Structure 1
Amino acid sequence: MTGMHQERWQLRLQNLIKAQYRLAKACSQESYNELELAGLVQTFEFSFELTWKTLKDLLNYEGFDVASPRSVIRTALEANHLSSEQCETLLDALIKRNLLSHTYDEQNALEAQRLIVKHYAPIIADVMHYLEKKSGE
């Protein structure tokens, strides 16, 4: 593949690093008001999108032809870029991401907070760290 693909996934990785930093900062709060919770969900959405798109660009660089988030996540597992736990968590996040945006419903808001802080954000951080290491190879 061309150098453009490598540059693309590494450039996208730089954006993921920035988004993940914001997500980690948002997840470090003890409690959230309504506006902060909406911000947490939005920051998660950006970070999740950048995670699968960075993986997509890496896979394209490696010669894989993938397009949808689901195919990217599954192919990243097959290419040993994700563990089975990371794959399952990212697929779960993919399924639930639309539900998470309904923070006007208090039960959905509390569930979104729990899922993001306890499950999704740590996996995004793990994937980002792996991609940083991969970028330095």
Structure 2
Amino acid sequence: MNSNPDRWKQRLQNLQRANIRLKRACSQDSYNELELAGLVQTFEFSFELTWKTLKDLLVYEGFDVASPRSVIRTALEAKHISSEQCETLLQALMKRNLLTHTYDEENVLEAQKLILEAFSPVIASIVDYLGQKSAEE
């Protein structure tokens, strides 16, 4: 168990900064090869911080979670995320795992579309929720 009750709030600050970078990366109209790689990398980093911040919050609340999948499912049970957010995060987890282990241009272009249309908005909404939760405590 995590004895530091502020751990999730500290990680949230990093997530908020990463989310700003992700929003900036998503704001372009088109991407060259390097910019596309940067978008994917920024998504991967933001996704990691999202599930790890949720994990720290859940541990603080007394849950026993370890893997990203268990964190996402437990966050749904604890009502920190909606079922739609849960499904999107699980899809993002699968895509992140695929992007980490293989490079296929078609897969990257599909990831770009998902990052812009689904993953980034869900991460942003979770960041907003966690920011409000942090301010309430």
TM range (shorter): over 0.9
Relative to structure 2, which stretch is displaced further, 37-46 or 108-117? 108-117
- State the distance in 2 between where 1:103 and 1:38 align: 13
- State the distance in 2 between where 1:71 and 1:108 align: 25
- 1:36-115 equivalences under 5 Å are 36-101=35-100, 105-115=104-114
Quick one: structure 1 residues 20 and 103, their matched pair in 2 at CA, closer, same or farther if it must change by over 3 Å?
Answer: farther
Cα contact 2:2–2:59 (8 A) shared by 1: no
2:16 aligned with 1:10: no
TM-score, structure 1 as length reference: 0.93
2:20 is matched with which residue? 21
- State the distance in 2 between where 1:95 and 1:124 align: 15
Cα contact 2:26–2:39 (8 A) shared by 1: yes
How many pairs were matched up?
136
Gaps of 5+ in 2: none
User: Alpha-carbon deviation of 1:102?
Assistant: 7.2
Quick one: structure 1 residues 133 and 3, their matched pair in 2 at CA, closer, same or farther if it must change by over 3 Å?
Answer: farther
Cα contact 2:22–2:43 (8 A) shared by 1: yes
Cα contact 1:73–1:91 (8 A) shared by 2: yes
TM-score, structure 2 as length reference: 0.93
2:123 is matched with which residue? 124
Gaps of 5+ in 1: none
- State the distance in 2 between where 1:43 and 1:22 align: 7
User: Alpha-carbon deviation of 1:40?
Assistant: 0.3
| Equivalent residue letter for 1:100 | L
Question: Could you list the per-position Cα deviations for residues 84-122 of structure 1 after superposition, in whole angstroms to 9, with x for gaps in the alignment?
Answer: 000000001111112234785331221111010001000
- State the distance in 2 between where 1:77 and 1:123 align: 14
Alpha-carbon RMSD: 1.7
- State the distance in 1 between where 2:104 and 2:53 align: 32
